[in-house]
Amino acid sequence: MLVALVRDLRPQCYDAAESPQLRTVFVFCLASPNKGAAAGSRIDLGTALISTGFAFSALKPDGQPVHAPYFVAQLVAQRSKVGLWAFADVPDPNAIILRALRQPLAAPGTGRSDGKEATP
């Protein structure tokens, strides 16, 4: 899906915010189709991917959406059962990420947070 959007629409990406401590630049990418039903419009690739069920909206560590329009697009995709949401057994990626953020870090090489060796 992403390859098709990029190949066909040739989006332009712009810096939205920067987090120097994370060495991360957040961007948004827009495409302006020049033919077809969407000619002359601007398409946000993030919204396009999320609303079709091929991406998900990010949540902050407190569980609040990073970008509310993306969260709404995800709810629409989930309720419509499109893309990855068409499968009843797809786990919510944000639940997995938030759970991992709340767990203590494992000691290097052990797979455990208490520093003890893992036993088979």
Is pLDDT of 74 > 90? yes
Percent of the chain exceeding pLDDT 90 equals 26
Is pLDDT of 69 > 90? yes
Whole-angstrom distance, CA of residue 44 vs CA of residue 54? 14
Contact 32, 40 (CB under 8 A): yes
CA distances from 111 to 38, 93, 97 (A): 50, 21, 17
pLDDT band, residue 19 (cuts 50/70/90): confident
Backbone angles phi, psi at 111, to 5 degrees: 75, 10
Q: What is the pLDDT of residue 87?
A: 93
User: CB within 8 A of 38, min separation 6: which ones?
Assistant: none
pTM of the predicted structure, to 2 decimals: 0.70
